[in-house]
Structure 1
Amino acid sequence: QFAVAGRLVRKSLKTKDKRVAQMRALQMVEREERKAVGLADPFEEHRERPLAEHVTDFEVHLAARGVSKAHQDDRMLCLREYLAATKARTLVGLDFVEAQRWLGELAAGPLSARSVNKRLQALRQFGRWLVQARRHTHNPFEGLAMRNEATDRRRVRRAFTDDELDALLDAARRRPLEEGLRKRPRSGLSKQVEAKFRRVGECRAFLYAFAAGTGLRRGELAGLTWADVDAERATVTVRASVAKSKRMAELPLRSDLAATLADQATRVRAHGLGTGPRDRVFPGPLFPTHGTVARDLAYAGLDGEDDQGRVLDLHSLRVTFISRLSAAGVHPRTTQALARHAKIDLTMRVYTDLRLLDLRGAVDRAGRSLRRTAASSEATAC
Structure 2
Amino acid sequence: MATLNKPITRKPIPEGAVRIEGRGGVVYAEWTDGRGGKRREKIVETAKGERIEVEAARWQITFTGADGRTKRRAGFADKAATKDLARRLEDEARKRRAGLIDDAAVKLAEHARRPIAEHVVDFRERLESKGNTNTHVARTIRALEDAIERCEWGTITDIDAARLAARLAAMDSLSPRTRNSRLQAVKSFTAWLVRERRLHADPLSSLRPVRETDGRVIVRRALSAEEVDELLSYVESSGDVVRIPKRYTYKGKIRTGLRNIRIQHRALLYRLMLGSGFRVSETASLRGGDFLLDAAPPVVRVRAGYTKNRRPVEQPIRRDLADALRPLIARTGREAVVWPKLPGNLAPVVKADLRAVRARWILQTTDRAERRRRRESDFLRAVDAEGLRVDAHALRHTFCSTLARSNAPLRVAMELARHSDPKLTMKTYSHVRLIDSAGALEALGQSPILRTLSAHFPDSEGRAKAHNVSHQNTRAGMDDAQNHRKNKTQSSVSHATSDNDAKWRCPDSNRGPEVYESSA
Q: TM-score, normalised by structure 2?
A: 0.55
Query: Cα gap change, 1:365/1:284 in structure 2, threshold over 3 Å: closer, same or farther?
Result: same
Q: 1:141 to 1:276 in 2, by over 3 A?
A: same
| Structure 1 match to 2:163 | 98
* Counterpart Cα distance in 1 of 2:405 and 2:383: 23
Q: Pick from 149, 160, 165 the counterpart of residue 228 of structure 2.
A: 165
**For the pair shown, which has the larger CA radius of gyration, 1 or 2?**
2
Alignment-mate amino acid for residue 229 of structure 2:
D
**For residue 451 of structure 2, what is the aligned residue in structure 1?**
372
Structure 2 gaps, min length 5: 1-57, 64-72, 79-84, 96-100, 244-261, 359-379, 457-466, 476-520
Could you tell me which amino acid in structure 2 is paired with residue 326 of structure 1? A
8 Å contact from structure 2 (residues 355, 381) kept in 1: yes
Q: Which amino acid aligns with 1:322?
A: C
Q: Secondary structure in 1 aligned to 2:299?
A: strand
Look up the match of 2:316.
252
SS in structure 2 of the partner of residue 216 of structure 1 = coil
In 2, distance between residues paired with 1:104 and 1:36?
49
Is 1:175–1:299's contact at 8 Å kept on the other side of the alignment? no
Cα 1:78/1:357, change in 2 over 3 Å: farther
Q: Percent identity?
A: 30
Contact 1:204 1:288 in 2 (8 A): no
Are the equivalent residues in 1 in contact too, given 2:242–2:352 (CA < 8 A)? no
Structure 2 residue 271 is the aligned partner of structure 1 residue 209: yes
Partner of 2:112, secondary structure, is helix
Q: Which residue of 1 aligns with 2:287?
A: 225
Structure 1 distance, partners of 2:442, 2:87, is 81
SS at match of 1:354: coil
Q: Distance in 2 between matches of 1:223 and 1:250?
A: 14
Partner of 1:131: 194
- Letter of the aligned partner of 2:117 in structure 1? A
Contact 1:234 1:253 in 2 (8 A): yes
What SS does the aligned partner of 2:139 have? Answer: helix
Q: Is the 8 A contact 2:300 2:315 kept in 1?
A: yes
Structure 1, unpaired ranges of 5+ = 13-27, 181-199, 267-273
Superposition pairs of residues 257-272 of structure 1, within 5 angstroms: 257-264=321-328
Return the alpha-carbon distance in structure 1 between the equivalents of residues 424 and 303 of structure 2.
Answer: 21
- RMSD after superposition: 4.1
Q: 1:215 to 1:44 in 2, by over 3 A?
A: closer
Larger mean Cα displacement after TM superposition, 135-144 or 169-178: 169-178
Inter-partner Cα distance in structure 1 for 2:138 and 2:112: 25
Q: How does 1:253-332 map to 2 (within 5 A)?
A: 253-264=317-328, 274-284=331-341, 289-301=346-358, 302-332=380-410
Distance 2:112 2:241 in 1: 66
Larger mean CA deviation between 221-230 and 329-338 belongs to 221-230
* Contact 1:324 1:356 (C-alpha < 8 Å) held by counterparts: no
Judge conservation of contact 1:172–1:201 (CA < 8 Å) in 2: no
8 Å CA contact 1:47–1:135 kept in 2: the answer is: yes
For the residues of structure 2 that align with 1:285 and 1:149, how far apart are their CA atoms? Answer: 28
Aligned pairs (5 A) from 1:1-382: 10=76, 35=92, 38=95, 42=106, 43-106=108-171, 108-112=172-176, 114-149=177-212, 154-176=217-239, 203-227=265-289, 228-230=291-293, 233=296, 235-241=298-304, 242-264=306-328, 274-284=331-341, 289-301=346-358, 302-355=380-433, 358-369=436-447, 370-372=449-451, 374=453
Using a 3 Å threshold, how does the CA distance of structure 1 residues 29 and 80 change in structure 2: closer, same or farther? farther
**Structure with greater contact order relative to length (CA < 8 Å, sep ≥ 6):** 1
Residue aligning to 1:192: none
What TM-score comes out, normalization by structure 1 length?
A: 0.73
Given that 1:236 and 1:251 are in contact with CA atoms closer than 8 Å, whether structure 2 keeps it comes out as: yes
Q: Which residue of 1 aligns with 2:249?
A: none
Whether the 8 Å contact between 1:157 and 1:316 is mirrored in structure 2 is yes
Higher relative helix content? 1
Question: Shift in Å at residue 335 of structure 1?
Answer: 0.9
SS at match of 2:239: helix
1:101 maps to amino acid: A
CA distance in 1 between partners of 2:186 and 2:213 (Å): 22
Task: Kindly indicate which of the two structures has a greater share of residues assigned to strand.
Answer: 2
